[in-house]
Amino acid sequence: MPPSSVPGTSLLLDLSSDVVTLTAAVCDIQSVSWEEAPLADAVEAALRALGHLEVLRDGNSVIARTNLGRDERVILAGHLDTVPLAAEPNLPTRREAGVLWGRGTVDMKGGVAVMLKLAAGVPEPSRDITFVFYDCEEIEGKYNGLGRVAANRPDVLAADFAVLLEPTDGAIEGGCKGTLRVDVTTKGVAAHSARPWKGHNAIHDAAQVLGRLSAYQAEQIEVDGLVFNEALQAVGISGGIAGNVIPDRCTVTVNYRFAPDKNVEAAYAHVQQVFDGFECELGDAVDGARPGLHLPAARDFVAALGLPVNPKEGWTDVARFSALGIPAVNFGPGDPNLAHMDDERCPVTQYEEAERALLRWLG
Amino acid sequence: MPPSSVPGTSLLLDLSSDVVTLTAAVCDIQSVSWEEAPLADAVEAALRALGHLEVLRDGNSVIARTNLGRDERVILAGHLDTVPLAAEPNLPTRREAGVLWGRGTVDMKGGVAVMLKLAAGVPEPSRDITFVFYDCEEIEGKYNGLGRVAANRPDVLAADFAVLLEPTDGAIEGGCKGTLRVDVTTKGVAAHSARPWKGHNAIHDAAQVLGRLSAYQAEQIEVDGLVFNEALQAVGISGGIAGNVIPDRCTVTVNYRFAPDKNVEAAYAHVQQVFDGFECELGDAVDGARPGLHLPAARDFVAALGLPVNPKEGWTDVARFSALGIPAVNFGPGDPNLAHMDDERCPVTQYEEAERALLRWLG
């Protein structure tokens, strides 16, 4: 991990400012995926200036950690990148009537600002902390900065527990569902559509596939005390060769979101069972993450924050920690339903409350 | 209609050669759609040289007619163009063991050769004849040469009866079915596929559309003594936004091939009834053609040829004659199932038999 780029060229982040002002400042350094360098430089420079942290750099990811010899080490993690700006650019941020508007105010520069405030404000935390600021979360998974660091330097991510500061609207969200996609294909025999009796229509056969999907009763599955709602849904369908041809194949792309009581292999076996008799082909697939809320480090976290705990329905990078054997939860400011929206915004009190909650645990 | 292009530049067609040799010669003047000029020039030159025909030219269409003052006028029509050659070029033709192989041997230069033989060999036919050799049949309908002539010069196409020399494998094929396409769309509400209960899956709803198609019992409808097999079939389906999104619309493209007892309007009303409750949008649509076999000119034709009469299942340009009020049938050499195939071929006896059959009527 090379040192920072040329000193003095970084934009400046003032970690002594309050968390709302700091969130706005972090948002105002644009960092659409692949363009995180200026923000990564600013974060690295601000953390190095603190003096009490070991700071590492990997591409546009920045890792900083205390080394106080505590019994427990925890990770606080957040991504630096955002989705592109709205067509009517939603930056710089503006603050109105207690709400901060703009790209990143929800996903997830409030979380990044909270991490920076804790890094600066708690030089001697109750457990050692590894702060992980990473790049390329909002694009295809293979570019994910956290995944890259986990592959390059798994030692850097050694920890007893991790908190991912993705927006959770004030609650703690435990674990996450896994997800896989399967192409279910029906096959027929092509023919001229004026003489369909000479062929066999594969799209008509897809009625059975869609019928099974419509009739499917998704399960609710409790894992480590949280109830996950599974889902099996078509996300795509395609078939047809030309306007005068009976099509010889039709493919329904199905997305299965499965509870973390099972892995990809078991989940795929279930989908194959649902579509028994049809050709199935597994597409992309990732395991979910068990909440692990029965483990001591997680129990301490929940007890310290004193906030409600819900299951995480969508897949998040907590699954990457889970794959490393580190129990992890999501906790961060912002309403996740506003993530990626043109009118992305967050009440400023959420930033303050998130900072206070984590201080109860680490301070 | 301008006269021919510069005399002497045409390739030559010898109308005194036998119909098989002439078919091979017509095939060997390549004439993929839009590139019919050399063949149209050759046809025009050969017909003008006969002396007993009035010859007109419209683009790459050539019209020739007798003007003998007969009580009845009939049209013999055929297109000059072919689909592109096979990847392994299937021209020039080759004749082996009584079979002529190559592009156009079925669709439909045998018919063109038969027309040329009749034009040359029957200067005083039993009824006046209008020969129509036209361009651009094998591509989008709006470029069709017969359609263009019908629009530009309907007077040229005045007749009591028409024979289209498309391949019919030795039988007479009466009329043709109409065809229309309808997009049947289901609508839902988009949502993240990890939380489908916040949306409504439009692809799942398409199960009902496909279910109705699967259950649909197509009718057999007798028109003018011929039984047409209707068909209602999906020819395309599409839906889906992204791999993690519950889709908010799904469109099934349906092709209805309807008997010529009804027009497009009535046929579309039927499709709307089948998909009652779903959004329907009419795409391209053309009327079919009634066989008109009860009409005197058609009866005479069938009696003279003494061949079986079947319904035409696919749409052909006979519908253009029908739209002009001219009863029309398909009759020509070649197996239509071999049209457009890389191994397009025809027993040479079929050319001879087609010529003899039409001579029984016109000689």
Residues B315 and B169 in one domain: yes
* Listed residue (A227, A117, A228) closest to A165, CA to CA: A117
- Over residues B247-251, the mean pLDDT reads 95
Report chain B residues whose CB lies below 8 A from the CB of A233: 193, 196, 201, 204, 246
Report chain B residues whose CB lies below 8 A from the CB of A247: 234-236
Q: How far is B110 from chain A (nearest CA, A)?
A: 23
- CB contact under 8 Å between B236 and A211, yes or no, is no
The answer, for A249 touching chain B at a CB cutoff of 8 Å, is no
Q: How far is A344 from chain B (nearest CA, A)?
A: 17
Residues A267 and A139 in one domain: no
Tokens of A8: 């003095």
Question: Tens of pLDDT along B133-144?
Answer: 999 999 888 899
What pLDDT does B194 receive? Answer: 87
The residue ranking higher by pLDDT, B194 or A115, is A115
- Over residues A261-289, the mean pLDDT reads 96
- CB contact under 8 Å between B247 and A236, yes or no, is yes
Of residues B197, B210, B243, nearest to A210 (C-beta): B210
Residues B121 and B67 in one domain: yes
- CB contact under 8 Å between B244 and A179, yes or no, is yes
Question: Tens of pLDDT along A220-235?
Answer: 999 988 999 999 999 9
What pLDDT does B292 receive? Answer: 86
CATH of the domain at B327: 3.40.630.10
Residues B49 and B153 in one domain: yes
* Chain B, window 164-183: residues with a beta carbon less than 8 angstroms from a chain A beta carbon: 177, 179, 181
Q: How far is A166 from chain B (nearest CA, A)?
A: 16
Domain of A157 in residue numbering reads as 3-176+289-362
What pLDDT does B27 receive? Answer: 98
Question: Tens of pLDDT along B332-353?
Answer: 999 998 998 889 999 999 999 9
Count of structural domains, chain A? 2
Question: Tens of pLDDT along A325-353?
Answer: 998 999 999 999 899 888 999 999 999 99
Tokens of A43: 């974060």
Q: Which of B137, B230, B335, B344 is catalytic?
A: B137
Q: Which of B81, B107, B135, B335 is catalytic?
A: B81
What pLDDT does B139 receive? Answer: 87
Residues B281 and B302 in one domain: no
Q: Which of B258, B286, B314 is the last residue of a domain?
A: B286
Q: Which residue of B has its CA nearest to A244?
A: B235
Residues 6+ apart with CB under 8 A from B239: A234, A236, A237, B202, B203, B206, B247, B249, B250, B251
Q: How far is B264 from chain A (nearest CA, A)?
A: 16
Q: Which of A254, A286, A318 is the last residue of a domain?
A: A286
Residues B183 and B148 in one domain: no
What confidence tier does B7 reach under pLDDT thresholds 50, 70, 90?
very low
Question: Tens of pLDDT along A25-75?
Answer: 999 999 999 999 999 999 999 999 999 999 999 999 999 999 999 999 999
What confidence tier does A10 reach under pLDDT thresholds 50, 70, 90?
low
The answer, for B97 touching chain A at a CB cutoff of 8 Å, is no
The residue ranking higher by pLDDT, B195 or A22, is A22
Strand residue runs (E) in chain B: 54-58, 61-65, 73-79, 94-96, 99-101, 128-134, 161-164, 172-174, 178-187, 191-192, 220-223, 226-229, 231-239, 245-246, 249-258, 279-286, 309-311, 328-330, 345-347
Mean pLDDT of chain A: 94
What confidence tier does B313 reach under pLDDT thresholds 50, 70, 90?
confident
What pLDDT does B314 receive? Answer: 85
Of residues A193, A229, A315, nearest to B235 (C-beta): A193
What is the β-pairing status of strands A279-286 and A61-65?
A: unpaired
Question: Tens of pLDDT along B175-201?
Answer: 999 999 999 999 999 888 888 998 999
What ipTM was estimated for this complex? 0.80
- CB contact under 8 Å between B255 and A234, yes or no, is no
Report chain A residues whose CB lies below 8 A from the CB of B281: none
Residues A119 and A8 in one domain: yes
Residues B228 and B354 in one domain: no
CA distance B67 to B73: 9
pLDDT at A6 over 70: no
Residues A349 and A216 in one domain: no
Residues B20 and B168 in one domain: yes
Q: Taking the CB of residue B208, how many other CB atoms lie within 10 A of it?
A: 18
Residue B175 zone, left/alpha/beta (φ > 0; ψ -120 to 50; rest): left
- Over residues A273-295, the mean pLDDT reads 94
Sheet of B345-347, strands arranged across: B94-96, B99-101, B345-347
CATH of the domain at B275: 3.30.70.360
Residues B144 and B191 in one domain: no
b or e along A229-263 (b: 16 or more beta carbons within 10 Å of the residue's beta carbon)? bbbbbbbbbbbbeeebbbbbbbbbbbbbbbbbbbe
Tokens of B36: 């019919």
What pLDDT does A5 receive? Answer: 42
Report chain B residues whose CB lies below 8 A from the CB of A257: 193-194
What pLDDT does B140 receive? Answer: 84
Q: Which of A286, A304, A327 is the last residue of a domain?
A: A286
CA distance A13 to A20: 13
CA distance A29 to A44: 14
Residues B311 and B182 in one domain: no
